[in-house]
Amino acid sequence: MSTLVGKTALVTGSSRGIGRAVAERLGREGARVAVHYRRDEAAAKDTVSAVEAAGGSAFAIQAELGVPNDAQTLWDAFDGHADTLDILVNNVGLEPGEFGIAATTPDGFDDVFATNVKAPFFVTQHALGRMRDGGRIVNISSTLTSHASAQPEYVTYAMAKSGLEILTSALAKQLGQRGITVNTVAPGLVETEPTKAKLFNEEARQFAASLVALGRLGQPEDVASAVAFLVSPDGGWVTGQYLDTSGGMLL
């Protein structure tokens, strides 16, 4: 059953990885999906084609996030294709290029916060005037906000992603009267291309999987399923929540 027929969704950073899986899933559920990309137009078009091949509808929009006027650029592109919004998934993220407090520079710190906190904040701000009552907002965080001591070198990333969780709580309260739900989804280790590059051999991969209660690494589709529930009619009574989608990592 297609639960999102007649809905329009925007998924930031959806040309690959978790964002692509979310875009494809929402498309299969009947939503018309705006596939946002930063630079890789070919990957975004491939995601659009995948959504359409599965019977859905999608269009690609480009905007660099984490730079001045990023939200306005994004929504100008969106407005060229659609005039209302029902679902916003703030998925785009930037991992640090510098690890640990000693190595982090002010510019590196600012880049991480600009992409992971400032961009979703103002993308959401601009979205609210376009979003219909009863809409859905999902912020993609990370279980590192709960387990920062497991990977302290990711301190700036964990700090930034924790800001999304505060945004979720505040907006859930503020937007409740409009019937708009706001939730956080927090993946653990997910087998995307960046993760595969880090787990460069089978031994490392098996060790990482051993940290997960369900005994395997997550797949982008696992996270997409959680998002699909939250934006569906069945998720309409869930707001202001943090949903761990790590398969029970570091329990």
Query: Where in the sequence numbering do the catalytic residues fall?
Result: 157
Find the angle CA(246)-CA(211)-CA(182) to the nearest 5 degrees. Answer: 15
119-128 vs 70-79: helix crossing angle, rounded to 10: 40
Who's near 213: CB < 8 A, 6+ residues apart?
247, 248, 249, 251
Task: For 52, list phi and psi in degrees, rounded to 5.
Answer: -70, -35
Contact indicator for 84, 7 with CB cutoff of 8 Å = no
Q: How many helices (H) and strands (E) does the chain have?
A: 9, 7
The whole-angstrom separation of Cα 246 and Cα 99 is 23
